[in-house]
Structure 1
Amino acid sequence: MKKIIKLLGGLVILYVFGMTLTYMIPNKSINENVADSMEALNSEKEYPPVNLFDEKATRLDNFTDKIMIDKARGTKESSLTEGMFVNGYPRYWHGYQIFLRPLLIVFNYSVIRQIYGLILVLLIGINFYLYLKKLDVFIAFSFLLSLYFVRIYIFFLSMQFSNVFFVMLLFNIFLLKNSKKNISNKQYFLYFLTIGSLTNFFDLLTVPLVTLGIPLITLIYLNLKKASISSEISVDYLKSILLNSFSWGIGYGLTWLSKWIFASLVLKKNILEDAFRTIIFRTEGYNNIPLNRINMFENNMNTMFNNFYVVLIACVIILTIIILIKKREHIMNRISLNSIYILLLIGYPYIWYTVLAGHSQVHYWFTYRLQIIAVFSLLSFLSYIISSLFNSKNEEMKI
């Protein structure tokens, strides 16, 4: 418990210090690029689609990006107050301002989009390389295919979409680089606690759960590949899933609560009241926006899985089934029953939708991306099965 308090306390202090330092940058040094950026965004629609034939799934969120750039403007208050007030939007930490404000000193939004594109390509490339090096080719391509399902090719055009995926990709790299620990190692609890906190700091409630789901699947797969084949199910995997999910939630929730409390004290305003009103909307909707959970689930699923993507994943499943039938004797002797734990993660997006139903109903055109966890979960399970066959063949050749 002391470790948790120290870790979260230290992180919150860093967040306050970082936001204060960021708003010490003189406004005059960013005003020109802020104005240019707002002009460029105003010339586009608020939610322009990149692909008219996949309109809902490829909408950009220029509306929120304009808010992010507008909130980079400081006020005449102290830098501590500005860092908490964020130009009238104190409910979130707005941690992205730590790199957005410095970038705006030199670049406008058009160049920042290009920088985002470069970072995105590099992070995906490093993840793909580490999956190949540490695991196998099947999980590496499953990772890329999962990103394709969420239309990753448009992300660099929206800061709003990219930030949370940057956090996920960086954490995934960390796990792949530090893959020697057993899944039962308590150190993972602190890792996921930290990443839950960082997610809340940087993200504006897009699809935060991806920073838990994708790395957790990676962690399970890492341990399956290095563990001996077992005909018994180990409870360590289930404990790890529950413990790390809980720790991520604690990090995420307490970091958000700390912002409301700290901002209320600094600004002498009741930020908590505003936050709790918003929570009610995010979970249950408003009277003028009645909640329909069935429609919410349908909209999220239909946006993610149009006809092309349904056919794509069906082909992968059918191909795997054919391989299973033909090579079942080789495969069954090479599979750990603990691989079934990967499939538990399929339900994570739909649990989130159930809890944050109001938010998922209104913003389904980007919350649909949370289902990357379900897709990666399924593809990872299939990858493990197929890779087991190839491992078996390689061992026979060595003999």
Structure 2
Amino acid sequence: MKKKRVTKLIVNHIILLTAGALSGLIALLLVHLLPVSPMQSHVYWSLEMIEKEFSDEVLIDGYRSTLTGNFTDCLMLEHAVYSSKEHTLLEQVLHMYRRESYNPPEGGDEDGWQPGNSLKDYLIGAPQSREVSYSRYWHGYLVLLKPLLLLTSFNTIRLFQSAVQLILAGWVVMALCQRKAYPLAKAFLLSLPFLFFVSTYASLSLSICFYVLTAAILVQLKMDRLLSRRGWYGLFFLMVGMATVYFDFLTYPLVTLVYPLGIYLYFHVSTFKKDIIGIIKNSVEWSIGYVGMWAAKWILADCLTGSTCIQDAVETIFIRTGSAQGYSKIGGFFSVLAKNFQPFLNWCYILIAILFAVLFFAGMSKTFFRKIKSNLPGAASYFLLASYPFVWFFLTQNHSEQHWQFTCRILAASVFAVISGCCVLLRNIPSREAPVSF
């Protein structure tokens, strides 16, 4: 009986991953049928703004983590508007070709590879030295970006993003409060600065995980009872992992796991042992969805076009999961931590930390020690979640060191988990419906 159940579970996962991969492929094929001429015109209208940010402009001088992500955004925009008669529709979708301009390196330029110049040259019809592909990722963001560019310019999309992201953040807080999850609402709000929410709207690439995160939370809060009753929570985390890798560029994906896990713990509290089992099970499901959906992209590319996408992806994985440059695995880990903590070592975050510390100790003064002791097992599960970003940094040292300007946002998950754990620790009444002390 147990063997049959395991077999059925494996089959269900394979079916879901296959269905997700085929649905994702079909969606990309459909949006690539849209006319690109209006999209090219709309991006061209925004070229003046884009040119000012070719070198990853920052919104607040001196704070590299408020960057607009223009380097990657230019790649996304060229993928959205690129058209070539040399490739079939399927080849373009699976390999994501684009033209590239090569400029001799000057100073700190990276081998002359400048996506901003490539985008500009393509739009104005200037000669470009070569065509390249970027087949490692799904590029699922094009399912939304192409229709938007069909309607309006990149400038307008930025303005639209600022409104949508504010609405989504407010919606999440209201939804948490409606479920009387006040500690999580406070933790979510206090973690937003660590996601650099003030600058996220300005970047296409750095907005993706925020959209997946908030969408996942809203779906989870709406369907929590159904997911629990039917035993579908594992499948929920599987699909969140699939959605993350489909849309994202490997920016700060871990937040789409930790935040929903924190919400899961809050509404399904049990013994510490069962909490840990739930964390592990759902983390594995998310990982299967993330890795499985990503691998499906490589398999589709190789099987349908005869490419070597799998080989390229595996080689890149070995590089990105290697130790930080010039360090051993342990030494590299501490180097990565130093770089990713660097954006938060300023008075903005020090003041936020002081504010939280004052509120926490004020809450402790109103809570009997025996209550804190009885709440400790529940809080400990959240403190375990707070360690997830550190595990991620250890496993992805090369990537997290080179791209600390945006991988540092993963630490927002630790902030959310720690604050949630502290709020649970200070509950006056051991009930999920009870208000916290602050």
TM over 0.5: yes
Kindly report structure 1 stretches of 4+ aligned residues shifted beyond 4 Å: 181-185, 389-395
2:80 matched to 1:35?
no
Corresponding residue of 1:138: 183
Instruction: Report the counterpart of residue 234 of structure 2 in structure 1.
Output: 189
Paired residue type of 1:85: H
Equivalences for residues 277-316 of structure 1 within 5 A: 277-284=315-322, 289-291=325-327, 292-316=332-356
Query: Aligned residue for 2:278?
Result: 240
Return the offset for 1:275.
Answer: 1.2
Matched with 1:274 is 312
| Residues 180 and 433, structure 2, Cα contact 8 Å, conserved in 1 | no
Q: Which residue of 1 aligns with 2:75?
A: 67
Partner of 1:44: 53
Shift of the alpha carbon at 1:243?
Answer: 0.6
Tell me which residue corresponds to 1:230: none
Return the alpha-carbon distance in structure 2 between the equivalents of residues 83 and 100 of structure 1: 14
Pick the aligned partner of 2:264 from 216, 219, 225: 219
SS of the residue 1:206 aligns to: coil
Of the three residues 248, 262, 265, the one matched with 1:203 is 248
Cα deviation for residue 17 of structure 1 reads 0.4
**What is the CA deviation profile of residues 314-363 of structure 1, one whole-angstrom value per residue up to 9, with x for unaligned ones?**
44234323432442157348737333211111110010000110000000
Once residues 179 and 226 of structure 2 are traced to their aligned partners in structure 1, the CA distance between those partners, rounded to angstroms, is 13
- String of CA shifts for 1:214-249, please: whole Å, max 9, x gaps: 11111111224xx7xxxxx34221111001100110
Distance change (3 Å), C-alpha of 1:326 and 1:40: closer
Change (3 A) 1:50 1:390: farther
2-structure distance, mates of 1:305, 1:389: 36
Aligned to 2:397: 357
Instruction: Choose which of 62, 65, 89 in structure 2 pairs with 1:57.
Output: 65
CA contact (8 A) 1:74 1:86 kept: no
Pick aligned residue for 1:257 from 278, 290, 295: 295
Is the contact between residue 367 and residue 426 of structure 2 (CA under 8 Å) also seen in structure 1? no
Partner of 2:120 in structure 1? none
CA distance in 2, matches of 1:352, 1:185: 31
Among 361, 370, 381, which residue is 2:421 paired with?
A: 381
Residue in structure 2 matching 1:86, options 89, 96, 100: 96
| 1:305–1:139 distance in 2 versus 1, CA, 3 Å | farther
Q: What per-residue deviation string (whole Å, max 9, x for no partner) do you get for residues 140-164 of structure 1?
A: 1221110122220111100111111
Once the two structures are overlaid, the 10-residue window that deviates more, 33-42 or 193-202, is: 33-42
Which deviates more, 129-138 or 183-192? 183-192
Greater shift after overlay, 20-29 or 361-370?
20-29
The match for 2:30 is 21
2:152 matched residue in structure 1: 107
The unaligned stretches of length 5 or more in structure 2 are 1-9, 98-132
SS at match of 1:52: coil
On the 8 A contact 1:184/1:237 being kept in 2, the answer is: no
- The answer to whether the 8 A contact 1:285-1:358 is kept is yes
1:7-55 alpha-carbon deviations (Å, 9 max, x no partner): 11110110110111111112223221132334431132421111124x1
1:124 & 1:23 partners in 2: Cα distance?
Answer: 31
Task: State the identity %.
Answer: 26
Shift in CA distance, 9/328, structure 1 to aligned 2, threshold 3 Å = same
Tell me, in whole angstroms, the C-alpha distance in 2 between the residues paired with 1:318 and 1:39: 46
Which letter does structure 2 place at the counterpart of 1:60?
T
Q: How much is the aligned-residue C-alpha RMSD, in angstroms?
A: 2.5
Name the CA distance, whole Å, in 1 between partners of 2:401 and 2:25: 32
1:38-81 residue CA offsets vs partner (Å, 9 max, x unmatched): 4431132421111124x122122101000100111132233222
- Deviation digits for residues 91-130 of structure 1 (CA, Å, limit 9, x no counterpart): 1000000011111111111011112112211211110001
Task: Give how far 1:393 is off.
Answer: 12
- The counterpart of 2:167, out of the listed 122, 141, 144, is 122
Which residue does 1:366 correspond to in 2? Answer: 406
User: What SS does structure 2 have at the residue aligned with 1:368?
Assistant: helix
**Which deviates further from its counterpart, 336-345 or 213-222?**
336-345
Residue 305 of structure 1, CA deviation: 4.2
Q: Counterpart of 2:141?
A: 96
Secondary structure at the aligned position of 1:94 is classed as coil
Write the distance in 1 (CA, Å) between the matches of 2:201 and 2:430. Answer: 36
Q: Distance in 2 between matches of 1:178 and 1:82?
A: 37
